Structures are given as C-alpha cells and as structure tokens.
Amino acid sequence: MIRYYTRACNFHYGKESKFLLSKKKTLSLKANKEISFDHLELISRKSKKKIHIKDIKKFSKLLRKQIFLDLRNITSKNKNFSNLNFQKLPNIMGVLNLTPDSFSDGGKFNKKNKATRHIVDMIKAGANLIDVGGESTRPGSKTIETKMEWNRLKKVLKSSCKKYPISLDTRKSEIMERGIKYGVKIINDVSGLSYDKKTVNILKKYRTPFVIQHSQGTPGNMQNKPRYKNELLDIYDFFEEKIKTLRNYGITHNNIILDPGIGFGKNLKHNMNLISNISIFHSLGFPILVGNSRKRFIKEIVKKNDTKSRIGGTVASSVFLMMQGVQILRIHDVNELIQGIKVYKELINN
C-alpha cells in the first residue's frame, strides 16, 4: 500500500473557529477551540490531494483507517508541561545566547548581570520559557570543549533556574546533567540527540522533557549544498523513526517537542516548503516548535543582510506559523513578537 501522510489545512482561528466548531463544520486542532480545520491534504512521495473532512468516507477502508489514526493525533489534546500551555497559541521560547559568536547577538549577553536582566525582560514581555545556550551552532561554527561551554553557562543557570523557567540548549550529555541538577525545565538539543550517544541515558534517567530537532550534517558543514529526496517527508520520517527508537530505549513519556530545524541543513527552498506545510507534523501527535527568529531565509527573501533588522520577517513568519497551529516559537525579540500577535488576534476577533 502507498504510504500517505496527512496534513491538516484550511485553518480557522478565534471567533470564526468557535462558531464553525459549534456548527460541526470543522475539527479542532489538539482540542483547542481557538483553531480548527476543515480540509486535509493527503501526501505521498508521488502525489498530493486536498480533500474536505466530510469526504474521508469516500476512500478505501485501509486508507480511511490510516487517516483516522492521523486525525486522532491531530485532534487529541497535548498535556501541558514545563510552563508551556498548549491550549494557548503560540507559546514563546525566548532566546538567550551566552556566546561571543552567535549569528545575531554574539557577546551581547555573556555577562551574568546582562544575561539575568535579559531573562527578566523576556519573562515580563510574556515569554513562557527562556532557552539558554553556551555554544553557537550557527552555520560554519566549530564545536567547543565541554569545560568552556559550562563556564559560560553555570553562573546564569545557578542563579536563574530556581526563579525562572529555563530551557538548556546543548548537545552534550555532561552539560545536560549539570543543567538538570540546577533545575532546567527542558533540554533542547539541535543535533536531534545524535551528537552525544550518552544524551539519551541522561534524558531517560531524569525523565526530563526535551526537544528533538532535525538537522542535516554538523554546524560546520550543514549548509554545504544540503539535499533531500523530499525535505517535508524525509523530516517526518526522521521524527517517526527517532520516536520509535526512543520508545524502544525506554523513554515512554510524551513530554517531547518536535522542531524541524529551520536553517539547519536546509536551503531557502527547503525552509519555505517546511514553513508552508508545517502542519503535517501535527499528525505525529507532539507539540511543534519552530525557530524562525532572525533566520537567514528572511535575508534571502528580503535581500538585506542585517540580522538585527529581521524583526518584520520574524513577525510575519510567526503569525503564519501560529495560523498553522505551531505551539512554540523560539524568538529573540519577544516583546515585538508578542505585540504583533496581540494586535493580529484583536483584529481577527473584532
């Protein structure tokens, strides 16, 4: 049988969503009345077909079974964890880079007082979680030693983890364990748990929530002509296989977040296809995180090479992602993004 992937589409938001749900014309995304959909796109490696939800009954028994299994994941409520509320769209993960060489804010916050102040500012602006990293994984960056990474992190983590919801952005098991002992809420590994084989042991031992991010290659080479047979379906298969492996290893909880890794081994075409069709990942059943903030795709579209002037592109892509039901956005400019989302929500609910 041909493998089909089910993508929820044609979303409705806010008051319109609630009205259509009351008339039983749409299905809610993740049991959230604020967002619902009335179409599906059935995608295979060779074809695409968009259908209304009422037309599912026209398909063969085997295909109907597959669609209904996907729909169960698409419509089932995700349990809240780590200060994230999945009945609220979107949650915001603020970015704090304690590095001298990150692509957009390297060196800006690598003093403890400045870092702490920035954490407080992002929380006050409305961030649900702060993602703290001590190693740059921008395209072309090199791996640093564990000792150096921890020296950048330890003071900020020690002073902040008990007061604020902190996510730890690291690929190294030793850093993860130290951070977990300090009280970090989530581990965010850009390598998809593949850089350090011991990371899975740590996550299993402490039952810590974590992000699985897709990346192709390493930060040093990931942008050297990345290739896929079909980036959307290849990444879907990556997540499916990774979850299966983790289950077999004994990680049975659902406090897992999926991140397709915008810009991590992807060119402009790959990134645009992923963002445009991001809702396909809802059928895996886990919350989706996207790091779109200040990313290179904005520069490539706008033709302006200034990472500090990409707020407009970040806000535009964030609103689009929210309208596809993405639950978490990883953002540098938290205040500006939340301002834009509040205005947009007010307008569509007026």
pLDDT in tens, 152-168: 999 999 999 999 999 99
pLDDT of residue 105 exceeding 60, the answer is no
Tell me which DSSP letter residue 84 carries: B
**Residue 44 sits in the same domain as residue 102:** no
Range of weakest confidence among 81-85, 141-145, 230-234, 275-279: 141-145
My answer on whether 276 and 341 are in the same domain is yes
Q: Are residues 120 and 67 in the same domain?
A: no
The residue out of 25, 45, 75 marking a domain boundary is 75
Per-residue H/E/C for 307-324? HHHCHHHHHHHHHHHHCC
The percentage of residues in the chain with a pLDDT greater than 70, rounded to a whole number, is 96
Determine, yes or no, domain membership for 296: yes
**In 3-state terms, what secondary structure has residue 339?**
helix
pLDDT of residue 36 exceeding 80: yes
Q: 203 and 333: one domain?
A: yes
Amino acid at 113: N
Question: Do 117 and 62 belong together in one domain?
Answer: no
Check 152, 171, 294, 330 and give the catalytic one: 330
Residue 301 covered by a domain: yes
pLDDT at 139: 74
pLDDT score of 258: 98
Q: What is the mean pLDDT of the chain?
A: 93
- Which residue from 300, 293, 296 is spatially nearest to 338, judged by alpha carbons? 293
Q: Is residue 241 part of a domain?
A: yes
pLDDT at 137: 82
- Same-domain pairing of 100 and 45: no
Same structural domain, 260 and 223: yes
Each as own residue / partner, the long-range contacts of residues 303-311 (CB below 8 Å, 24 or more positions apart, any chain) are 307/103, 307/104, 308/104, 310/104, 311/336
82 part of a folded domain: no
> Mean pLDDT throughout 173-183?
98
330 flagged as catalytic:
yes
Range in 60-69, 117-126, 192-201, 297-306 with the lowest mean pLDDT: 297-306
> Which of 98-112, 124-138, 326-340 has the least mean pLDDT?
98-112
Residues 332-338, mean pLDDT to the nearest whole number = 97
Between the two ends of the chain, the Cα-to-Cα distance in Å is 47
Cβ 142 vs Cβ 221: under 8 Å:
no
Same-domain check for residues 70 and 98: no
More confidently predicted of 113 and 200: 200
Residues in a beta bridge with 35: 13
Q: The domain containing residue 229 runs over which residues?
A: 91-348
Count of the separate structural domains present in the chain: 2
Looking at residue 108, its pLDDT comes to 61
Q: Domain boundary at 18, 45, 75, which? A: 75
| 273 pLDDT more than 60 | yes
Average of per-residue pLDDT across 61-74:
96
- The reported pLDDT for the residue numbered 104 is 52
* Greatest CA separation for the chain: 62
Query: Tens digits of per-residue pLDDT, 282-305?
Result: 999 999 999 999 999 999 999 887
Residues 111 and 208 in one domain: yes
Asked if residue 128 is part of any domain, the answer here is yes
Window from 55-69, 92-106, 166-180 with minimum mean pLDDT: 92-106
Which of 171, 172, 295, 296 is catalytic? The answer is: 295
Q: Are 55 and 109 in a shared domain?
A: no
Of the candidates 234, 240, 216, the residue with the CA atom closest to the CA atom of residue 226: 216
One DSSP character per residue, 250-291 reads T-----EEEE--TTSS--HHHHHHHHHTGGGGGGGSS-BEE-
Residues counted in the chain: 350
Q: State the pLDDT at residue 110.
A: 60
In a domain, 153, yes or no: yes
Please indicate, yes or no, if residue 83 is contained in any of the structural domains: no
Q: Assess whether 96 and 140 both reside in one domain.
A: yes
Q: What are the residue ranges of helices labelled H in 5-107?
A: 14-22, 61-75
Q: Clarify whether residues 166 and 235 are in a common domain.
A: yes
Does residue 309 lie in a domain region? yes
Mean of the pLDDT values across residues 182-189?
A: 97
Q: Is 229 a catalytic residue?
A: no
For residue 106, is pLDDT > 50? no
pLDDT range class, residue 169, cuts 50, 70, 90? very high
CB 259 within 8 A of CB 288: yes
pLDDT band at 56 (very low <50, low <70, confident <90, very high): very high
pLDDT at 37 > cutoff 60: yes
pLDDT of residue 203: 97
Q: Which one is predicted more confidently, 139 or 266?
A: 266
